[in-house]
Amino acid sequence: MLQQSELIFDFASDHVNMSQLMGYSDYPAVIVEQVPLPHQLLYAGLACEQIQTEQDHQQLLKVEPCESGEEETMETLVAADSLLNMDCPDSLSLEQHYSQTFLPSLGDVITTPVTQVTVSAEGIVGAFDQPQWHSLHTGKPASRLQSRKRGGNTLYLWQFLMELLQDRQVCPRYIKWTNANAGIFKLVNSKAVARLWGKHKNKPDMNYETMGRALRYYYQRGILNKVEGQRLVYQFTSLPKDMIYITDGEGTKEEEDDENDDISGHDDGVSDNSDDSTIPSSDQSVEEEDSHPPQKKMLTSSVKAPATQRSRPSHRPSAQRDTVLRPTNASLIQEQHLPIVSAEMLRTFQNLQKVQSLQPRGHASVFQTAQLLGSLCEQQAAAEGSVEGQDETSQPGQKTLQVETPQLVTLTSSDQ
């Protein structure tokens, strides 16, 4: 029988190269996308244990398109509030809290809030972690950089900025694209962004000067460039393949840098609702923003596509949260997700007798994983025939995923 740890190990170590595995290139890669709404409910105090019945589970899985952006904002704020006001005796970072909350032990398989497992026959597209980005864009070997890779919970500054740029609570209010095609963005409110970063890093004294030093180090490392002649304007040298681009939209007010910015009136510097609310959504979606030639996607209140972007019809409701809309990019495969994937799969394992008869020839557990996913696909196909009317795969976000990646097979946990 497949060992849990083995399964996890293979997901953790092989996700980048699964599609390259000799002899198994036809087997699917696994992408997990978490739908934030359940997270928000959980953040708001809904215990995981309460999600044990399938009915409950399906309720969580359902992500209703938000008709009102205000309601959505309220949800966000509630979630943000519960996160940011949560006492963390050990000064846990949000990521830590996140992982502790949603990364169940394997013993908690049943209550794991997995919301979606996407199986792609194409393998993982663009699954580059930061070292690979370095390798890709600086010509330096990734091996050295990977030798000391950081934990899955670490969010780098550049990732943080990308998260902010994909967070409608912050973009374009505090940070915005000035030229999405070129990856150029502006820190509209540098102080606010710095404070958010400081909050994120548990560095209450963080300011733009300090954060700026970190940004300048990115010049050397080829992650950022400075846009000459423009203050507070930087350029990503590369962007994730499926970056979500928020442009200035109606109802979103930019706040230029000034002393009246909301976050500056409190002891901890970042206690204002509007600012605090930005952190959770960023942190909830701590997917690593990996580097890729821009294959951009503009979403927002006013969703725009860059001129160079291939036209891609978007069926996403504009009011939906960005994190909900996060596409299936490779960055979704994170170490922090891996146990969830495994747990979900293992749950399915319980119903799949034939897995035991598999005969892996090499990359054993990867093979087993692939076989399992094949079984999942079969189950999905069977389930689709029986499901009437309401199909989770018809949710806006997932529907979009299928449009964008035609060969995707989307599975939800309700398929079990």
Partner DNA sequence: GATGGCCTAATTAGGACTTCCGGTGT
Partner DNA sequence: CACACCGGAAGTCCTAATTAGGCCAT
Residues near DNA, by CB under 7 A:
130-131, 134, 144-145, 147-151, 153-154, 156-158, 187, 190, 197-198, 201, 203, 205-206, 208-214, 216-217, 219, 221, 226, 230-233, 257
Q: Which is nearer to DNA, 198 or 240 (CB)?
A: 198
Smallest distance, DNA to C-beta of residue 78, A? 27
Least distance CB 157 / DNA (angstroms): 4
Q: DSSP string of 136-194?
A: HHH---HHHHHTTPPPTT---HHHHHHHHHT-TTTTTTTSEEEEGGGTEEE-TTHHHHH
Cβ at position 245, least distance to DNA in Å: 22
Q: Which is nearer to DNA, 203 or 399 (CB)?
A: 203
Least spacing, CB of residue 103 vs DNA, in Å: 13
Q: What secondary structure does DSSP assign to 10-62, as a single string?
A: HHHHHTTTGGGSTT-TTSPEEEE---HHHHHHHHTT--GGGG-SHHHHHHHH-
Nearer to DNA, 32 or 187 (CB): 187
Q: Which is nearer to DNA, 169 or 190 (CB)?
A: 190
Nearer to DNA, 11 or 197 (CB): 197
In which residue are the tokens 């509630």 written?
Answer: 78
CA-to-CA separations, 2 to 24, 197, 366, in angstroms, rounded: 18, 41, 11
Closest approach of DNA to the CB of residue 11, in Å = 15
CB atoms within 10 A of CB 387: 15
Q: What is the closest distance, in whole angstroms, from the C-beta atom of residue 151 to DNA in the complex?
A: 4
Name the residue type at position 293: P
Q: Please state, in angstroms and rounded to a whole number, the distance separating the CA atoms of residues 253 and 174.
A: 9
Toward DNA, which CB reaches closer, 213 or 310?
Answer: 213
Place of tokens 């359902």: 62
